């Protein structure tokens, strides 16, 4: 378990591909990390472990509070517990 007292939950948004040439999925990665570089590296490693062949990350920031809705509420709680939580969704282009 990580020391979450000093670090807020970070959210990284972007797109991922399950196969080259396939349609992209939107992605939100929630985790706790000591800095942005570590957060991005950890997110990319977690996405690769989950089988995504490509990822394009757009934004990174700290969560302002606890999300109201699922699946982000569970992902937030997982991040506080030291997990790297991945939420994917169909993204209209």
Which tens digit of pLDDT belongs to each residue from 34-88? 999 999 999 999 999 999 999 999 999 999 999 999 999 999 999 999 999 999 9
Dihedrals phi, psi of 41, to nearest 5 degrees: -60, -45
Residue 33 lies in a domain: yes
Domain span at residue 39 reads 9-90
Number of domains the chain contains: 1
Residue 2 lies in a domain: no
| Nearest residue to 17 via CA among 84, 76, 93 | 93
Strand partners, 54: 17
Residue 1 lies in a domain: no
């Amino acid at each position: 378990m990580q020391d979450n007292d000093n670090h807020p939950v970070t959210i990284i948004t972007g797109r991922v591909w399950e196969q080259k040439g396939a349609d992209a999925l939107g992605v939100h990665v929630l985790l706790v990390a000591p800095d942005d570089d570590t957060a991005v590296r950890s997110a990319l490693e977690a996405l690769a472990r989950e089988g995504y062949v490509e990822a394009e990350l757009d934004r990174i920031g700290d969560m302002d509070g606890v999300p109201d809705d699922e699946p982000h509420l569970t992902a937030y709680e997982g991040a506080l517990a030291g997990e790297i939580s991945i939420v994917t969704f169909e993204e209209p282009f």
